[in-house]
Structure 1
């Protein structure tokens, strides 16, 4: 009888140990519970569209767009996993389905503070449903003016920079462009704003500088002019899009321009959810599985093959040159200096 008692005790202890170990397992969702000293920006992978969730260092939150309707569950579940109960500020950048499609479900499932939308309507089912959900919660739509502050504290500012007009031929140019500044760091969110809107922001003389740029219109060549990019001067360019999308996003011209300016490109179609943390001084890029600098490492890998040499001619080229040698004749270099130290000369038509 005593043996059975001892066995039961052992089994009980083993069960307690298993429960303890299970309970102490690190949950990747919980690993992103932040403290009130950090700004954390989540570029959520919702396919072909935009959705950006922001945790401010003052404890408030914001959601910029919510992707297409088919991704409603993705953004709602993402927020629930983050233990979100209230979204203080929602920005619907413009009334295209790939930006507002998930908002009705978000509004239905969470407590909402303020909602910001441009002065532009759409005769679509999803837009009407969005207005219906807003009305059902007795909320009102705020139409912001360019230059208006959503948050205006000493170390934390959330400002609207566009639209700067009220009559555009293209709905994309009605996009609400916003900027978050937290001490020495800043993020610029452009929605689908195109060249006209970018030009207006430059001409208005706004401070567009930002460490992180949400690249406009999913990397389309209709956005991200060189002049605008020079004014922003970001270290990172984040592009939200679906793999093999029918629009051909991101366009080659945009990627080439970002690369030319030394901007690290982070894409949701390649990396999934992208999370960037700021302590007001330093920017740290994370990913959804809490792999720390893995995204940084992936970008470093891309940079390592900056130049391609021809073993036969001893000429080196940029990777996008039209005169690259066959693969078996290629020699790859990390820099011009490395190529020239090996006796290679530059190809003047592709490298200046």
Structure 2
């Protein structure tokens, strides 16, 4: 395995694990559904932590990236911070440079959840274990991957801070959302956060003078759940290869039809599209096997479904959910797993917890 990406279903919002070889992890955002006691990524890591401890080993969390301040991207962050504090796990926190950690805490007294999140971040900030991201910049190398921030430039960040002060009701934190781009010799992955097209346009304009040059990706987590303000044919032409896998972290409202129309207009006939919203695809889970069974949670991984779950603007809201006859019970989809192999192949799986 070269790298694994797990995109959890948390409704409209992001909760993502990036797993490198040798039990090294990175995390992107921390949303959770009301029905979920904690972000699914935290549940996954708890199980992995216990499993490795039993074998006398441990996991490493190299980074967590909080892309911006919206609740659907950091709602469960406090749960995660409490866990790493309990386990004494060292991490590095990445966030947009537009977030001024010490100053923002004083403005959050009416939002305990957000205040607590930034209080945790501030503790790491004081220990010099945070990194504020801006512009197109190389952030870190993990294993074979160089990781780049795709962020607004300092002048856009200053403008954003002024808007926040002068016109807070119309301030939009998506404008300073931080996308990430991973690059190895054979593979490129992009995680689009909620970056709107107008900011993507600025990123694209700066590519030629950056060390990146291009962002053609084998895997893309679409920006802003597939919203119309985060879509443009130029963006998809710059981001997607012919065989790219693109996923929308969606609810019933997303991805928007105009976004799917933009995708259909570009010449990428073998593009694979996925959604975390259950009604966007038919569930097929043959030869399922139990991979973990702890804390009354039974994780089930399906067989390889690479390329079998494409969606279109005609079918996106009309395909019904189906039960798996082999499991003889209904089950709840929990996310997609993309395993990128060193042989330049990708295996795609659906994840489910079996209902108790």
Question: Normalising to structure 1: TM-score of the pair?
Answer: 0.65
- Secondary structure of the corresponding residue to residue 208 of structure 1: coil
Which residue in 1 is equivalent to 2:347? 284
Query: In the aligned structure 2, how far is the partner of 1:150 from the partner of 1:185?
Result: 17
Query: In the aligned structure 2, how far is the partner of 1:181 from the partner of 1:72?
Result: 34
Range moving further from structure 2, 122-131 or 51-60: 122-131
Query: Contact 2:11 / 2:33 at 8 angstroms: preserved in 1?
Result: no
Query: In the aligned structure 1, how far is the partner of 2:47 from the partner of 2:200?
Result: 35
CA gap 1:72/1:257 in 2 versus in 1, 3 angstroms: farther
Which residue in 1 is equivalent to 2:288? none
Query: In the aligned structure 1, how far is the partner of 2:220 from the partner of 2:189?
Result: 6
Matched, 1:66 2:30: yes
Which residue in 2 is equivalent to 1:40? 4
Matched, 1:130 2:117: yes
Query: In the aligned structure 2, how far is the partner of 1:260 from the partner of 1:147?
Result: 28
- Secondary structure of the corresponding residue to residue 136 of structure 2: coil
Per the TM alignment, residue 185 of structure 1 is displaced from its structure 2 partner at its CA by 1.3
Per the TM alignment, residue 69 of structure 1 is displaced from its structure 2 partner at its CA by 7.2
Query: In the aligned structure 2, how far is the partner of 1:256 from the partner of 1:272?
Result: 27
Q: Structure 1 residue aligned with 2:337, among 275, 280, 291?
A: 275
Per the TM alignment, residue 86 of structure 1 is displaced from its structure 2 partner at its CA by 4.0
Query: In the aligned structure 2, how far is the partner of 1:188 from the partner of 1:95?
Result: 20
Counterpart mapping for 1:253-332 below 5 A:
253-261=258-266, 262=269, 263-270=271-278, 272-280=334-342, 281-288=344-351
Query: Contact 1:238 / 1:265 at 8 angstroms: preserved in 2?
Result: yes
Give CA-to-partner distance per residue, 1:29-53, whole Å, 9 cap, x none: xxxxxxxx43000101122210110
Q: Structure 1 residue aligned with 2:247, among 208, 214, 238?
A: 238
- Secondary structure of the corresponding residue to residue 277 of structure 2: helix
CA gap 1:58/1:203 in 2 versus in 1, 3 angstroms: farther
* Long gaps (5+) in structure 2: 51-58, 161-170, 208-212, 279-332
Matched, 1:250 2:255: yes
Give CA-to-partner distance per residue, 1:206-253, whole Å, 9 cap, x none: 4211011111101100102111110012411100123x3xxx222111
Structure of greater relative contact order (alpha carbons < 8 Å, 6+ residues apart): 2
Per the TM alignment, residue 184 of structure 1 is displaced from its structure 2 partner at its CA by 1.1
- Secondary structure of the corresponding residue to residue 224 of structure 2: helix
Per the TM alignment, residue 72 of structure 1 is displaced from its structure 2 partner at its CA by 5.4
Query: Contact 1:177 / 1:190 at 8 angstroms: preserved in 2?
Result: yes
Matched, 1:114 2:92: yes
Structure with higher Rg: it is 1
Query: In the aligned structure 2, how far is the partner of 1:79 from the partner of 1:225?
Result: 36
Q: Which runs of 4+ in 1 moved over 6 A?
A: none
Query: In the aligned structure 1, how far is the partner of 2:149 from the partner of 2:249?
Result: 20
Which residue in 2 is equivalent to 1:171? 173
* Long gaps (5+) in structure 1: 1-36, 291-352
Q: CA RMSD in A?
A: 2.5
Query: In the aligned structure 2, how far is the partner of 1:192 from the partner of 1:201?
Result: 14
Query: Contact 1:68 / 1:97 at 8 angstroms: preserved in 2?
Result: no
Query: In the aligned structure 1, how far is the partner of 2:221 from the partner of 2:263?
Result: 12
CA gap 1:96/1:153 in 2 versus in 1, 3 angstroms: closer
Query: In the aligned structure 1, how far is the partner of 2:13 from the partner of 2:196?
Result: 15
